[in-house]
C-alpha cells in the first residue's frame, strides 16, 4: 500500500476527541471573546486578576494554599462546592489559554463536592484529611469511566475499568478530582505534545514549553488552575516541567507512593521505575501530599510500596551540601549559572557548608539510559574527576554506536514493539521527537542484564561517594534552562541520573528571574560536548527574560522527609 493511500484513522479520532474536550467546557466558563488575550500576549498569568471575569471569592479561593482551603472548608467558611467550582472555572480558563487538559470531570467533581458538604453537615466530621480539596491528575492516572489516552489516538474512547491505587487512596482521603492534564506521547518527551491534543504552552510565556511529561500539570498549576497536582517521573517528568514554570515538585524514591494501576505505554519496563509525585506552588502542599499519602499506609494497596511510615526528621540548623556547577556534559545556561552562584552565596552567608561536587559517575549513569557518544568532548574532564573506572562502561559509552540497540537502551529494549502495538492499529505516526523508537532493534535478555548490572554498580559507587563526603544533599540545576522555546529542549541528565540512582529530589524556584541584561550568552568557553554547543547556541536571553529560575535539591534514597526539610532550610536562607 502506498503511503498516500494509508488511511489516517488517527486524525479523525483525534479531531473528535479534541472537539469533545472543548465541548465539555460549559458556556459560563468560556472566556468571552472581548476579553480573551490575543495570541501575541505571551504571559497570561495576570488574566484572572486583571480580566474582571473572576469573582473576588473565586480569586481568593484559587490563590489560597491547600492548608487554608482545607481549614476554610472544614470550618464552613467555604463550601466544598464553592471551592470546586472556582477551580473548575480557572482550570477551564487555563486550558483555553494553554491547551493543558486532556479530560474534564466537572460534573462528577461538583457532585462529589456536594456529597462531601452533605456529609460534613450531617455528621460534623470530615471524611478524611483532604476533605474538599480539588486535586488535578496527570492523564495516565486511571479513573473508572474516563480515558487515559497518554497521547495515543488508539486509546481514545477506551475508558478505564479500574482506578489507579493512588486515585482510590486520595479519594478515600476526601479529595475531589476535577481535571486530568495533557502529556506527551507515551510520556517519553521532555515537552508536552502529542498527536491527539497537540502542544501545551507555558502560561508565563506561551512561546516557551511547559516541559514534560507532566507539562499539562505544570501549566495548570502555574496559572493557578490547581493548588495541588500529581504527576509522574521516569527521567525528570516531574522536575523538568516544574522548573520551567517556577513551581515545586517532589520526585520520590520508588516504593514511597503507590504506582499500581496507572496507564503506561511501556508497561512491564521496570529497569528504571516510574514514580508518582506532587506538584504545587509551595513546599507546604508538597509536604501535605507526602505526609497524607504515606499516612494512609499505601503498602496495604500496592505491594510494591515500602512499609515505611512518615518520619520526623531534624536536619539541624546547618547543612553540608555539595554543589554541582555542571554535570560534565552540558553547562547550565547563564541564568541557571547565576542562580547557582547566588543561592550558594546566600547559603554560605547563612552559615551552611558548601563544597564542590564533581560530576563523577554522571556520564556513566546517563549512558545506562541513552547512548552518550554525543558527550565525547567531555570525556577527559570526567576521567580526571573519576576515581572509579569500569572498562565495560567505557566501551559502551565512548565509542560511536553503530548498533541501533544502543540508542535508548532500557526504554527501547523491546525494539519499540510496545509503542508500535499502540500506534499501528490506527496508523498513527511516530512523532519526530521519538524517532529513536522507530529505528531500534530488540536488546536481548543478556544485554539487558548487563545494563542492569552496570546500573547497580553505579548506584553502589555513588552511595560510597556520598557517604565518604558526609554531605546532606546535592544542589544543582534541574535542567540547563530557565525557559526554552518549543522544540528546543535538550539534555535530561540533570534529572535522569537521579532516577537511575532512585534518589529523592525536589525542584524548587529560587526566587529570582531571568534578566537579559545580566544573563547574556556565555563568552565562548569551550563546549563540554556537541549537545552543550547546541544548547548554548540556542540560548536567547531576550526569549526567556523574566522567567523564574529553579534549582534541584537531592537527598538519598527514601529520604523524602529529609529533602523536604532541607528545602525549607534553603528557602529560609533565600
- Which of 164, 213, 214, 418 is catalytic? The answer is 213
* CA-wise closest residue to 361 among 398, 380, 388, 381: 388
- Which of 210, 237, 274, 550 is catalytic? The answer is 237
Evaluate whether 313 touches 562 at the Cβ level (below 8 Å).
Answer: yes
Cβ atoms within 10 Å of 415's Cβ, excluding its own: 16
Residue 213 among the catalytic residues: yes
Residue 77 among the catalytic residues: no
Evaluate whether 235 touches 272 at the Cβ level (below 8 Å).
Answer: yes
Name residue 320's beta-bridge partners: 353
CA–CA gap between residue 63 and residue 58 (Å, rounded): 8
Distances (CA, A) of 480 to 207, 381, 453: 18, 19, 29
- Which of 138, 180, 409, 562 is catalytic? The answer is 138
By three-state DSSP, how is residue 201 classified?
A: strand
Residue 17 among the catalytic residues: no
CA–CA gap between residue 121 and residue 113 (Å, rounded): 12
408's grid cell: 535508548
By three-state DSSP, how is residue 479 classified?
A: coil
CA–CA gap between residue 173 and residue 127 (Å, rounded): 7
List, in order, residues 6 or more apart from 155 with CB less than 8 Å away: 147, 148, 149, 263, 422
Helices (H), 99-214: 106-123, 165-172
CA–CA gap between residue 490 and residue 261 (Å, rounded): 30
Output the CA torsion sign for 410, 412, 414, 417. positive
Residue numbers annotated as active site: 138, 213, 237
Amino acid at each position: 500500500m502506498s503511503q498516500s493511500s494509508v488511511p489516517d484513522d488517527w486524525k479523525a479520532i483525534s479531531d473528535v476527541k479534541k472537539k469533545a474536550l472543548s465541548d465539555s467546557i460549559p458556556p459560563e466558563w468560556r472566556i468571552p471573546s472581548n476579553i480573551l488575550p490575543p495570541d501575541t500576549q505571551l504571559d497570561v498569568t495576570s488574566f484572572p486578576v486583571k480580566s474582571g471575569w473572576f469573582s473576588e471569592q473565586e480569586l481568593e479561593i484559587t490563590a489560597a494554599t491547600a492548608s487554608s482551603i482545607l481549614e476554610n472548608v472544614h470550618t464552613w467558611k467555604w463550601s466544598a462546592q464553592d471551592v470546586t467550582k472556582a477551580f473548575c472555572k480557572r482550570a477551564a480558563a487555563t486550558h483555553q489559554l494553554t491547551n493543558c487538559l486532556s479530560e474534564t470531570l466537572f460534573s462528577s467533581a461538583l457532585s462529589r463536592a456536594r456529597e462531601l458538604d452533605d456529609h460534613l453537615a450531617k455528621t460534623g466530621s470530615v471524611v478524611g484529611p483532604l476533605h474538599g480539596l480539588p486535586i488535578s491528575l496527570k492523564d495516565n492516572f486511571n479513573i473508572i469511566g474516563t480515558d487515559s489516552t497518554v497521547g495515543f489516538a488508539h486509546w481514545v474512547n477506551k475508558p478505564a475499568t479500574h482506578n489507579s491505587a493512588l486515585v482510590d487512596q486520595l479519594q478515600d482521603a476526601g479529595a475531589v478530582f476535577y481535571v486530568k492534564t495533557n502529556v506527551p506521547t507515551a510520556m517519553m518527551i521532555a515537552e508536552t505534545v502529542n498527536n491527539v491534543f497537540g502542544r501545551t504552552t507555558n502560561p508565563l510565556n506561551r512561546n516557551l514549553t511547559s516541559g514534560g511529561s507532566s507539562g499539562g500539570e505544570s501549566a495548570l498549576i502555574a496559572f493557578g488552575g490547581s493548588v495541588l497536582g500529581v504527576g509522574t517521573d521516569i527521567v525528570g517528568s516531574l522536575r523538568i516541567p516544574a522548573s520551567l514554570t517556577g513551581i515545586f515538585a517532589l520526585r520520590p524514591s520508588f516504593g514511597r507512593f503507590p504506582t499500581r494501576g496507572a496507564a503506561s505505554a511501556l508497561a512491564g519496563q521496570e529497569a528504571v521505575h516510574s514514580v508518582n509525585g506532587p506538584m504545587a506552588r509551595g513546599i507546604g502542599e508538597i509536604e501535605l501530599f507526602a505526609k497524607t499519602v504515606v499516612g494512609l499506609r499505601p503498602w496495604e494497596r500496592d505491594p510494591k510500596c515500602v512499609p515505611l511510615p512518615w518520619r520526623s526528621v531534624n536536619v539541624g540548623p546547618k547543612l553540608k551540601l555539595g554543589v554541582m556547577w555542571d554535570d560534565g556534559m552540558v553547562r547550565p545556561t547563564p541564568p541557571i549559572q547565576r542562580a547557582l552562584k547566588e543561592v550558594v552565596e546566600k547559603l554560605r552567608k547563612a552559615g551552611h557548608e558548601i563544597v564542590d561536587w564533581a560530576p563523577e559517575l554522571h556520564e556513566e549513569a546517563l549512558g545506562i539510559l541513552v547512548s552518550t557518544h554525543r558527550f565525547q568532548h567531555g570525556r577527559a574532564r570526567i576521567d580526571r574527576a573519576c576515581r572509579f573506572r569500569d572498562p565495560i562502561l567505557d566501551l559502551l559509552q565512548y565509542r560511536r554506536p553503530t548498533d541501533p540497540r544502543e540508542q535508548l537502551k532500557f526504554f527501547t529494549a523491546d525494539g519499540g514493539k510496545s509503542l508500535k502495538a499502540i500506534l499501528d492499529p490506527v496508523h498513527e505516526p511516530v512523532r519526530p521527537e521519538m524517532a529513536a523508537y522507530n529505528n531500534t532493534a530488540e536488546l536481548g535478555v543478556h544485554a539487558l542484564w548487563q545494563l542492569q548490572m552496570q546500573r547497580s554498580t553505579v548506584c553502589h559507587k555513588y552511595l560510597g561517594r556520598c557517604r565518604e563526603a558526609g554531605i546532606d544533599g546535592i544542589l544543582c540545576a534541574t535542567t540547563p534552562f530557565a525557559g526554552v522555546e518549543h522544540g528546543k529542549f535538550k539534555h535530561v541528565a540533570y534529572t535522569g541520573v537521579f532516577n537511575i540512582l532512585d534518589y529523592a529530589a525536589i525542584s524548587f524556584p529560587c526566587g529570582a528571574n531571568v534578566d537579559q541584561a545580566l544573563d547574556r550568552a556565555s563568552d565562548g568557553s569551550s563546549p563540554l560536548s556537541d549537545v552543550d554547543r547546541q544548547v548554548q547556541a540556542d540560548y536567547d536571553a531576550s526569549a526567556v527574560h523574566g522567567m523564574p529560575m529553579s534549582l534541584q535539591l537531592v537527598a538519598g534514597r527514601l529520604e523524602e522527609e529529609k529533602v523536604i526539610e532541607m528545602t525549607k532550610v534553603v528557602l529560609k536562607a533565600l
